[in-house]
Amino acid sequence: MTAKVILNPYSNRWNSKARWPEAEAALKAAGVDFELDISQGKGHIIELAKKAVLDGFSPIIAAGGDGTLGEAVNGLIQAAGSTNEAVGPLGIMPTGSANDAVYSLGLPTDLTESAKVIAAGKTRLMDLGVLNGKCFINNSAAGLEPYVTIKHEKIHWIKGLARYLVAAVQGILDKPEWSAEVTWDGGEYKGMLSLITIGNGRRTGGFFMTPHADMFDGKLTLAYGYRSTRLGLFQALPRAFKEGAGSYVEMDGMVEVNATKISVKLNKPSPAHTDGELFPEWIQNFEYEILPQKLKIIVQ
C-alpha cells in the first residue's frame, strides 16, 4: 500500500518544514512508497489524517512533534467512526522540538533510522488517553503545566528544550494555583493544586511529569501536587528532569498514581492542553479515560 505522510511545517518553529528534504530523502532511501500532504494550520492534520484513511492510504506517517501526533490520532479515530477497534498503523518522522512520545516509545530521533523503522512495518498496540472526548497520545494537563505552555509559545528568542525551561521559570514566578476535587479509581483528593498532569507517556516538554507512565499498561498516570511557595516549586523543577530515583513526585505534597478514569473539578478555569496543544478556552471540568490498545503504532 501507499503511505500518506502528513507534514506539519510549523512544528518546532518551522524547523519541521526546513527538515522535510532530509525526511523525504530518508523515506525514499528506505523504500517507503508515499504521498505527501502538508498541514495549513491547527486542526488541519485531523482532517488530513481522516481523509487519508478513508482514501485507503496505509500507514499514516506523521512528520512533526507531539502535537502533530495528537492531531493525527484524532483523525484516525474520526475515520474509524468509533473507538471499538484499533486504528492505524501510525508511523513517526520526528521533526518536532521535544519529541516526547518518540522518547517514551524508545524510537530513534534520527530521521534516517526513523524511516528504516517505518519501512520495516512492525507494529504494537498502544493505549490512548481521552480528555473530554479528545484523544491524546502522550500527555495532558491543567494548572501550571499548560500555563507554562502559554509562556512557551510567547518565547521566540530561544530554541529547543531550553525554551521549555525558561517558560517553566516564568510560570513558577507567576505561581498560579487552584482549589480542586480530584477523583480516580478508588481514590480522591480535595485541596489546593499547583499542578495536575495526566500521562500516557513519561515525558512532556523534556520534563518527566509522569515518570512511571507506561503507554502499554492500560492505565493513565496521574501526578498532582501543591507547593505553597515559589521556592518550593523551584526546588521541584530540577527534579522534574529525573526519570528514576529522586523524581519530583517523591517530594512532600506530590502524588503519582495509576488509574483508568480520572475526574478533575477546579474552582476556577484553567488552561488545558493535550499533547502540548492548548485548548482555545480555559476550562474547569476535566474527564479523563484510557482507551487500551487502540493505536497500531510502528515500533522498532
CATH of the domain at 219: 2.60.200.40
Tell whether 170 and 256 lie within a shared domain.
yes
* The total number of residues written for the chain in this structure: 300
Residues 215 and 281 in one domain: yes
Same domain, 26 and 155: no
Exposure of 114 in the CB half-sphere (CA atoms within 13 A): 26
Per-residue pLDDT, 205: 85
Establish if 297 belongs to a structural domain: no
In a domain, 271, yes or no: yes
E strands, the chain, in order: 3-7, 34-38, 60-64, 87-94, 123-131, 134-136, 139-143, 178-184, 187-193, 195-199, 220-225, 254-259, 261-270, 272-274, 277-278, 283-298
Same domain, 44 and 113: yes
Report d(CA 34, CA 154) in Å as an integer: 35
Q: Are residues 162 and 112 in the same domain?
A: no
- Point out the domain boundary residue: 93, 121, 149: 121
Tens digit of pLDDT per residue, the chain (300 long)? 899 999 999 888 778 999 999 999 999 999 999 999 999 988 899 999 999 999 999 999 999 999 999 999 999 999 999 888 999 999 999 999 889 999 999 999 999 999 999 999 999 999 999 999 999 999 999 999 999 989 988 887 787 778 888 998 999 999 999 999 999 998 999 999 999 999 999 999 889 999 999 999 999 999 999 999 999 999 999 999 999 899 999 999 999 999 999 999 999 999 999 999 999 999 999 999 999 999 999 999
CATH assignment of the domain containing 34: 3.40.50.10330
Q: In this structure, what DSSP letter does residue 240 have?
A: G
Q: pLDDT at position 82, please?
A: 85
Total tally of structural domains belonging to the chain: 2
Cα 24 to Cα 2: distance, rounded to the nearest angstrom: 15
Q: Residues 54, 79: contact at Cβ < 8 Å?
A: yes
In this prediction the pTM is 0.92
Which residues form the domain of 93?
A: 3-121
CA 67-220-199 angle, 5° bins: 40
Q: Is residue 284 located within the same domain as residue 185?
A: yes
What local confidence, expressed as pLDDT, does residue 140 receive?
98
pLDDT in the model for residue 159? 72
Q: Are residues 86 and 148 in the same domain?
A: no
Name the CA dihedral angle for 178, 181, 182, 187, rounded to a multiple of 10 degrees. 140
What distance in Å separates the CA atoms of residue 248 and residue 237, rounded to the nearest whole number?
7
214 and 173 belong to one structural domain = yes
Single-letter code of the amino acid located at 158: I
